[in-house]
Chains A and B, each alone.
Chain A
Amino acid sequence: EAGVTQFPSHSVIEKGQTVTLRCDPISGHDNLYWYRRVMGKEIKFLLHFVKESKQDESGMPNNRFLAERTGGTYSTLKVQPAELEDSGVYFCASSPGTFTEQFFGPGTRLTVL
């Protein structure tokens, strides 16, 4: 069974540009989560989808971040326009239920110059 996949693995962009990260969860997992780890700090929750609905988006930093999960399958996280402080590793995770193990993808390392 394929795990959680994320694309791209790395992205280097300039301040002010737009970047879109993609996450494909494990097939059949209704719950999808986005997290971010800024260098040396904790992994911070960004938001949680249940199917195509946003269950909790309390961790989204500001309105420059937009997450979607059309059709309840893959999800995208768009940053527009990117700022220097957006640099970090963005992880996606999925789980079959809300109170069950979350399976993480390998992450996308975003560098904003």
Chain B
Amino acid sequence: GENVEQHPSTLSVQEGDSAVIKCTYSDSASNYFPWYKQELGKGPQLIIDIRSNVGEKKDQRIAVTLNKTAKHFSLHITETQPEDSAVYFCAALRGNEKLTFGTGTRLTIIP
């Protein structure tokens, strides 16, 4: 089955700097890659996603890039703000099968 690895497990950046979280996947047939943000006491919330026919997608300060050949995708957050502090999860999905998640990255923005 699919296996998703996520790095780093923790990340601290100064407010205003950029943060990058990377994931790799094992199943070349996976074709949908969402990113979830989990704030304290809440469930994961989808913040951006990308499908395998696209190499990059951007939504304001958040962007995701996908390299199908290398089987990795990354989340980029620019101009970080204190409210970006949370746990971020990447995931991969093949067709209509189950989502496979990474282990999460705890992002801390230092004011």
Contacts and interface: CB of A to CB of B under 8 A. Distances in A.
Interface of A: 4, 33, 35, 40-45, 48, 56, 58-59, 91, 93, 98-99, 101-107
Interface stretch (B52-60, B73-81, B96-104): B96-104
A101 B46 contact: yes
Interface in B85-111: 89, 91, 93, 95-104
Interface of B: 4, 6, 32, 34, 36, 41-46, 49, 89, 91, 93, 95-104
Given A43-B89, A99-B32, A101-B34, A106 B42 contact: yes
B44 A91 contact: yes
A16 to B, nearest CB: 29
B103 A40 contact: yes
Contact of B49 (A56, A101, A105, A106): A101
23 contacts: A33-B98, A40-B103, A40-B104, A41-B103, A42-B4, A42-B6, A42-B100, A42-B102, A42-B103, A43-B91, A45-B100, A58-B98, A98-B96, A99-B32, A99-B93, A99-B95, A101-B34, A101-B46, A101-B49, A102-B99, A104-B36, A104-B45, A107-B43
B44 A43 contact: yes
Nearest to A104: B43
Contacts of B36: 104
Given A59-B98, A99-B32, A101-B49, A42 B43 contact: no
Contacts of B96: 98-99
Contacts of B6: 42
- Which A-B residue pairs are the 7 nearest by beta carbons? A104-B43, A45-B98, A43-B101, A98-B96, A42-B101, A42-B103, A104-B44
